[in-house]
Every structure is written in structure tokens, then in C-alpha cells.
Amino acid sequence: MDIGKNDGYDFVTRAVLFLENAYGVHFFITPKDFDVLYRWYEKRIPFPIVKESIANVVERWKEKNKTVYSFSNFSYEVKKNFTTFLQLNVGATVDVTRDKPDTDEYGEAQHFFDHFPPGLNTLKQEFEDIFRRVKSKEEIDLAPVYRKLVELFEDDEELKIKVAVFSRSLAPELQKPEIENRYRLNYLLHKYRIPDFEMLT
């Protein structure tokens, strides 16, 4: 199974998962939806801005009894919030791909290890090695442990169902193994609250 780096697919599946997990919103993902999300990725729009924009629109539409049916429903809000973000950071050196907290940069990761999920015990040593390398400012390669994480749950019935439902929600031309793999990985990262170690480097 390929868990190679594809940040665009990663961004797309994270957005779909956020909408699902935070608001229980599901709809058929068309090529147009995919293009909208991929364009946000290409414009290097920080994911927290995407999350905030989705939250704003979902809440507004809920008050008006309107149903979100496409990621294009969020386009105006994302564009507006990203423009504001850029204006606020004019003249500052900002890496817009990151959303690193200003304080206690390792707090989330430490909390993960203090409450390590029993289901991941076989990978604990590898995650600890990665965290040690992060704190030592060494380079990290997450692909091997991510591959093992997905393999650990290859017979998990709940995950198989989730992936099948996700795949059925995609237009046929989007039903690619690499997109399913990114969804599978991001589902596990979210479920077990695994920190974004790359963000900490």
C-alpha cells in the first residue's frame, strides 16, 4: 500500500473528514468539489482557515435551514478569510502552510504520549523515536510508520466500512486507490489524535 507523500490528496481528504466529523455533513464528491479543494491546496491556504470557513458557512446555513451540498459553497468564505489573513500578515515572514501554536509547541504531542492509545502499542516505540528526533531538530520520515499504522488496521471492519462509504461518495473518476489510502490514513490520524509531527519540525 502506497502511503507516499501526496499533500494535495492529504489536504482534500482532511477537508472531507473535517466536514464529516465536525458536522456530520456528507454529500457526493464531484470532480468540481475535488478541484475546489485542490485549488485551495495549490494556493497554500492554511488548513485552519479552511476549517474556520467551513464552520462559519455550516452554522449560517443551518440557521437558514439550508443544506450544504458542495465544497463550492465554502469558496467565497475561504477566499474572504484567506484575503484577511494575508492582509494581517503583510510584511511578516509567514509560512502559510503551518498552523503551529505560539506557546507550548510540544504540548499536544506530549499529551498524546501521556495518554497513548492502547490500540497503537505496537507502534509506540516508533512514535517515540519520531518525537525524540523532532525535539532534537533532526529530519523525520513519517512514511514508514504511517504505512505500518494503516497495515495495523487493514482487517478493521469499521475502517473498511468508512472507506467504502467514502469511496461511494466520490464520482467514479475520483475513485482512485491513492485517494482512498489518504482517507484511510487521515481517518486513523484523526481517530487516535496522532499529532502532526511534521508541523513541529
What are the pLDDT digits (tens) for 52-84? 999 999 999 999 999 999 999 999 999 999 999
Return the amino acid letter for 7: D
**Range among 69-78, 91-100, 102-111, 175-184 with highest mean pLDDT value:** 69-78
Predicted structure pTM score: 0.76
Closest CA to 78 of 129, 116, 44, 103: 44
